[in-house]
Amino acid sequence: MAAWTTGPNSGRWQALACALLLLLVTLVYLPGRNGGFAFDDYPNFVNNTAVHVTTLSASDWLFAAVSSPSRGLPRPLAMLSFAANYYFSGGSAVPMKVTNILIHVLNTLLVFLLARRLARLAGVAQARGPAAPGWFALAVAAAWSLHPLNLMPVLLIVQRMESLCHVFVFTGLIAYLAGRERQRSGRSGAALIILALVLCPFIGSLSKESAALLPLYCFLAEACMFRFETTPGVRDRRLVLGHALLVFLPATLALAWLLPRSLDPSSFHSRDFDLPERLMSEARVVFDYLRWILMPNLRELSLYHDEYVVSRGLLQPPTTLLALLAAPLSVALAWKLRARRPLVSLGVLWFFAAQLLTATIIPLELVFEHRNYFASFGVLLAVADLLLLGASLKARRVGRVVGVAAIALLALLTALRVQEWSNPLEFALAEARKHPESPRATYYVGWVLTVASRYQPDSPFVDQALAAFAHARSLPESNALPDSGALLLASRTGRKLDPAWWKHMQHRLATRPIGPQETGAIGVMVTCEIQHLCHFPSEDMFETFGAAMSQGPHAEVFNLYANYIWNIAGDQELGLRLWQESMRTEPSEAQYRIAVIRALTVLGRKDEARREIVVLRRMGRFHEHALMADRLEKSLGDKP
**Reported confidence tier of residue 640, pLDDT bands at 50, 70, 90:** very low
Helix axes 572-585, 590-602, angle to 10 degrees: 160
For the beta carbon of residue 353, count every other beta carbon within 10 angstroms.
19
Burial class from Cβ neighbours inside 10 Å (0-12, 13-18, 19+) for residue 410 reads buried
Positions of E strands within 191-326: 229-231, 234-235
Cα–Cα distance between 43 and 35 in angstroms, integer? 17
Cα–Cα distance between 515 and 365 in angstroms, integer? 11
Mean pLDDT of 623-635: 84
Q: Is the pLDDT of residue 73 over 70?
A: no
- 158-174 per-position pLDDT tens digit: 999 999 999 999 999 99
Q: Report CA dihedral (74, 75, 78, 80) to the nearest 10 degrees.
A: 40
What's the pLDDT score for residue 21?
97
Would you say 203 and 116 are in contact if contact means Cβ atoms under 8 Å apart?
no
Q: Is the pLDDT of residue 7 over 60?
A: no
Instruction: Determine how β-strand 234-235 pairs with β-strand 229-231.
Output: antiparallel
What's the pLDDT score for residue 6?
55
For the beta carbon of residue 406, count every other beta carbon within 10 angstroms.
19
- 195-253 per-position pLDDT tens digit: 999 999 999 999 999 999 999 999 999 999 998 888 777 788 888 888 888 888 888 88
What's the pLDDT score for residue 69?
79
What's the pLDDT score for residue 621?
65
Mean pLDDT of 136-158: 96
- Distance, C-alpha 84 to centroid of its chain: 20
What's the pLDDT score for residue 517?
86
What's the pLDDT score for residue 60?
84
**Percent of the chain with pLDDT strictly greater than 70:** 97
**Reported confidence tier of residue 1, pLDDT bands at 50, 70, 90:** very low
- 377-429 per-position pLDDT tens digit: 999 999 999 999 877 888 889 999 999 999 999 999 999 999 999 998 899 99
Would you say 147 and 296 are in contact if contact means Cβ atoms under 8 Å apart?
yes
User: Which of 55-64, 75-84, 191-200, 504-513 is predicted least confidently?
Assistant: 55-64
Q: What type of residue sits at position 91?
A: G
Would you say 384 and 294 are in contact if contact means Cβ atoms under 8 Å apart?
no
Bridge partners (DSSP) listed for residue 313: 316
Mean pLDDT of 139-166: 96
**Reported confidence tier of residue 72, pLDDT bands at 50, 70, 90:** low
**Reported confidence tier of residue 4, pLDDT bands at 50, 70, 90:** very low
Q: What share of the chain is helix, strand, coil (3-state, %, to 5)?
A: 70, 0, 25
Question: Chain-wide mean pLDDT for the chain?
Answer: 91
Cα–Cα distance between 99 and 82 in angstroms, integer? 10
Cα–Cα distance between 404 and 292 in angstroms, integer? 19
Residues in the chain: 640
Bridge partners (DSSP) listed for residue 231: 234
For 327-333, the CB contacts below 8 A with 24+ separation are 327/283, 327/286, 327/287, 327/352
Q: Where are the domains of the chain?
A: 17-261+280-420, 436-552, 573-640
User: Which of 6-20, 440-454, 467-481, 513-527 is predicted least confidently?
Assistant: 6-20
Mean pLDDT of 3-30: 83
What's the pLDDT score for residue 8?
54
Would you say 625 and 619 are in contact if contact means Cβ atoms under 8 Å apart?
yes
Contacting residues for 12 by C-beta, under 8 A, at least 6 apart: none
Q: Is the pLDDT of residue 5 over 70?
A: no
Would you say 318 and 166 are in contact if contact means Cβ atoms under 8 Å apart?
no
| pTM for this model (two decimals) | 0.89
What's the pLDDT score for residue 2?
44
Mean pLDDT of 28-37: 93
